[in-house]
Amino acid sequence: MSSLERRLSSARKEVEQRRSARPLGDLEAAVAALPQIRPFTEAMSGEEIDFVLRLKDVDSSLLRTAEDHEVAGLAASIEPLAALHRETALPLLVTDVIVDGYQLYEARLAGAGGVVLIAAAFDDEHDHMADLYSLAGSIGLDVIVEVSDEEEIADTLELLDPDSFLVRNRPEDGGAVDFERTFSLLEEVPAGKFVLSQGGVREREEVDALERAGVDAVILGRWAAAGDLADTLRVLRGESR
């Protein structure tokens, strides 16, 4: 069983457990009462490459540093998201593997402005992916589609024509970072799409190369939050060495 298959299986089991504790109808009613929220990617500056910080837990000091140094957004699983939403005004992106509409309502209630749909998770379920994409948009969530090869890009463009893509710099199986693979994939993404990059970005030269290739934002791994975040951001922006 591949890493993605394990994640999908785990996500489905967890959704069913939560659904048994709180029916979908309760979530639907609660979401219907929420005010509109700004879509995640619309909060990005668009002037230069932005940085999105991936977090596991809430850390008030770290959040203040992120805000002070103009981190564009935060990425986290649904579980800590509500607490993050109470602590900061930064836009939030869900990192959980999305397999069910129930999760979309959970994400919206937790304060998320966007979710990621992994194209590879819907190889034989294109209709289900389209339904989730439509549902997310109907409740105010921005959808970023994660793609890993040229075929997924072509299929996703034909099926959904999404505004936003996520391209990982290392394979799903955890192989080595390969920016050349990323650059090749980016050539298949039409101009005007919002593109996020994730994985292995540690140096300013890598940021420069991704920006030249058309990347709009980089998701930084938890390593950035574990160290000196302010210094890391200065290095990635070319402000210091």
Q: What is the CATH number of domain 3-236?
A: 3.20.20.70
Could you give the C-alpha distances from 230 to 45, 68, 92, 128, 203, in angstroms and in order? 19, 9, 20, 41, 14
Instruction: Return the pLDDT at 174.
Output: 62
DSSP 230: H
Domain ranges across the chain: 3-236
The answer to whether residue 28 scores a pLDDT higher than 80 is: yes
Instruction: Return the pLDDT at 168.
Output: 87
Closest by alpha carbon to 93, among 80, 162, 135?
Answer: 80
Q: Count CA atoms within 13 Å of residue 152 on its CB side.
A: 20
What would the pLDDT profile of 117-165 be if each residue is shown by its tens digit? 999 999 889 999 999 999 999 999 999 999 989 999 999 999 999 999 9
* Average pLDDT across the chain, whole number: 92
Scan for tokens 């099926």, then name that residue: 159
Instruction: Return the pLDDT at 123.
Output: 87
Instruction: Return the pLDDT at 240.
Output: 60
